Chains A and B, each alone.
Chain A
């Protein structure tokens, strides 16, 4: 027992000595703890999290496309060409910025924009446009364009519903025949593009309307207390000048409020 007592006593002496020592082992204040420990730890955690997030994003982007089926590759190739052609024909690409539209006084005076608006009128009946574009993609001249480096790259695709006259399905291997599922894929692909066009053109036309309305005095004949009527007047005036508006605009106020 005495040894234990002595040992305990030694510890007490040691503690006492430590307690009265001028050199303490842990003498930081809470503020020092916050500045010297907590904040660096938080910063480190934040930086690490950010780095992890960026890494995840990069990994997502760098994923290699899935290897598509051949019919799909050909179908997309044909459709893209058709859609690009329509887009080029409409001149949409020239109006990435609305400020490129030419104006004469308060009215637009731009043939390119006039062409775009006329072309965009096809978007009014998007089902028809989709069918037209699909048909063109399958059978149109755009499928094989002169100057293509490798015309043979375009294999024949056969859709019994939209087959050109005289085309025999037996000549097309089954993997290049378009069934309903594949056709739906194609239509969906086209529709996405058309919707984008529609959205972009509508945006341009809304800007056009905004620009025009901003210049109209309140008493102008084009203004009206009823929005629907006012929109009709503006649309008519623009159409008369060669700028037909998309239904998204003309029918905007026909909706239930």
Chain B
């Protein structure tokens, strides 16, 4: 590196200048620096502390906002609200946000003010006054003072500031929104209402929900971007929305009302088809709307002209519905009144006579007529209806309508049915009268039944006749074809037949009663006659004469064709006299013990009882119904046991002895007279009565309890024997046997008609519970004892005969 001599010289000169300068600074009497001046320091101090005081004064005694400051703040808050509508939508949220903004601004103003004060202090001092210097004089609680000032500002200034700002923002937005609200155009209304009405095609009326949707759509017109507005504007928005949507709805409903009015009043009566009706409806509504549109325009509260909409598409779309409805109503009215559907009974009777088997019952007849008459009547009705239409309609159109429209079909059938109900009974009555007169008129005369017929009646116990064949058999009527007879004819024949049969059966019963009375009245005389060895025939003749005399007296008081003693009665008299005669003759000393009235029914009723017991066990009670063969009951016993019920028990026992497995452990006989208390007797396997107890059959609950309590000790014994027997069977080698559970078999023979089935059920329930209790207490290994419960009824045999 080479330096030129000039450079060397330059450096040397600089060094000299520097030295000179340094010497000058030392040698001159310089003033003390400003920072060192006591006056300056003091003035700096005074300016600093004065500034601090000024700040404190402003914080502690804030001046109310001036009008200019207030205007600026209101502007700023208003701008903030306008800028972010969504955040300021809620008034409370907006107030909070505005408070933040205002306080922030206030803080900024304060800071600016602090700077101004500091700057002013700085001007008052030669030494620099900074904010840090001022702040150092404000003390430690300075920040709290600022916050208190902010709070004071918030408390005193914020509310009116926010109120003014909010009012201005709301007002501006309100003006803007009110300008945006408008009545929808015709197309818009059609779109809105069309969408709503399409949701419920059944009714064009707008629901509350539709109203809300419509209001929203009106709102969307004014606010297509779905801006969020201040909550105060909700009412502002709601008012024009309600006004416009209300007017829109009002016009829509007005048009619907016009449609209804036109449908009820302004469609000529000769318009029969839906298309012509619809055209008339549209024309009528459009005429009305044209009149309204010709009137001077009306403005609403908002100053907007209320448009008068032409016929709206949703209303127009409903016209066919109304037209179709009106078409149906008119046709239904016609069907209900048209004379071509009127029916005549004569013509109906003629049809019935032609094929009576199709009209056996009234229901069949109605169905037949409904089916056969419908095509013809349908054609007549539609032809007549089409002829009255303007323009003249096609018959086929209305036929299709009648057959495809359920309401019309129903109306048509209803009219035909009304006609049938009015005319068919008369037609059937006429035909029935003809049939009766032709084949059964003899029944209307006096009829005396034959002995065979009376025997049949006796056998059936005087049961009512239920079929024409029974009547024919009883009365010897010839019936060739039952199916051709009407139901009314058959009923009339059966009614008359039963009347005649009852008459004959009553005569037979009365005469047999007279026989029994004779037996009682003439027993003493019979003993005397036997003792006198009077011939049997004479005795019998005497008895018959007495019977004839008695019947003669009775028959005179009745208008009966049966004036003579019936053969059946005479046979019964012979039998009774013979038996009495023989018994008196064989053991005149014991004859009094066994009266004929006691002996007689034994043979017959007992057979019936046993037969019933073996054949018809009570179904609800029989858990194991086994098909039992009808067995011939053993010979009736009239010996030592005496009572018929015990005889029935004997039969049961003898029957079960044959089948060892069905041998009952006990038989409970429930007997009793209709007038007195009933009696329950428990028989063992040998047929011996174990106990006997009386009970009131009219009180099944108490009766079941009484019988159960009486049976309990015996049941305990039976149960113990059953269990013991089962254990013996299954002990030793018996252990290999199949372990069928032990059974306790009880047969219930109910002879009394007064004993109710419920009592049997209650009794079984008691016994079941008792067995369950004993089974629980039994030793382990023994299965539960099953109750085999069978019930037989015998009283029916007594009352109805075999």
Contacts and interface: CB of A to CB of B under 8 A. Distances in A.
B45 A213 contact: yes
Contact of A230 (B8, B9, B27, B50): B50
A45 B18 CA distance: 12
A49, A206, A230 interface centre (most CB from chain B within 10 Å): A206
A207 interface: yes
A257 interface: yes
A252 B43 contact: yes
B11 A38 contact: yes
A68 interface: no
Nearest to A229: B50
A31 to B, nearest CB: 7
A223 B9 contact: no
B27 A218 contact: no
B1 interface: yes
A218 B9 contact: no
Contacts of B3: 30-31, 33-34
Given A223-B49, A230-B49, A230-B50, A218 B138 contact: yes
A210 B16 contact: no
Contact of A225 (B8, B11, B57, B137): B57
Contacts of A213: 42, 45-46, 49
Contact of A224 (B8, B9, B23, B53): B53
Nearest to A199: B39
A203 B39 CA distance: 6
A257 B124 contact: yes
A218 B139 contact: yes
Size category of the binding interface on chain A: 35 or more
A226 interface: yes
A46 B56 contact: no
Contact of A219 (B8, B37, B56, B123): B56
Contacts of A93: none
Contact of A217 (B9, B42, B139): B139
A14 interface: no
A42 interface: yes
A216 B139 CA distance: 11
- Chain A interface, >50% SS class: helix
Nearest to B43: A252
A45 B4 CA distance: 20
B682 to A, nearest CB: 120
Interface string A58-93: 000000000000000000000000000000000000
B247 to A, nearest CB: 66
Interface in A45-63: 45-46, 49-50, 53, 57
Contacts of A226: 50
A30 B47 contact: no
A227 B11 contact: no
A225 B123 contact: no
Contacts of B39: 202-203, 206
Interface string A5-39: 00000000000000000000000011101100011
A209 B42 contact: yes
Nearest to B11: A38
A178 interface: no
Nearest to B53: A223
B41 interface: yes
B11, B20, B42 interface centre (most CB from chain A within 10 Å): B42
B2 interface: yes
A203 B38 contact: yes
Contacts of A123: none
B19 A50 contact: yes
A37 to B, nearest CB: 8
Contacts of A216: 49
A233 to B, nearest CB: 11
Contacts of B138: 218
Interface string B36-78: 0111011101110111111111000000000000000000000
B41 A210 contact: yes
A167 interface: no
Interface of A: 29-31, 33-34, 38-39, 41-42, 45-46, 49-50, 53, 57, 98, 202-204, 206-207, 209-210, 213-214, 216-219, 223-227, 230-231, 234, 252-253, 257
The list of the 6 closest CB pairs from A to B, nearest first, reads: A225-B54, A218-B52, A210-B42, A223-B53, A42-B12, A206-B38
Interface of B: 1-5, 8-9, 11-12, 15-16, 19-20, 23, 27, 37-39, 41-43, 45-47, 49-57, 123-124, 137-139
23 contacts: A31-B3, A33-B8, A42-B11, A42-B16, A46-B16, A49-B19, A53-B27, A57-B27, A202-B39, A203-B38, A206-B39, A209-B45, A210-B41, A218-B56, A218-B138, A223-B50, A223-B53, A224-B50, A225-B51, A227-B46, A231-B46, A252-B43, A257-B123
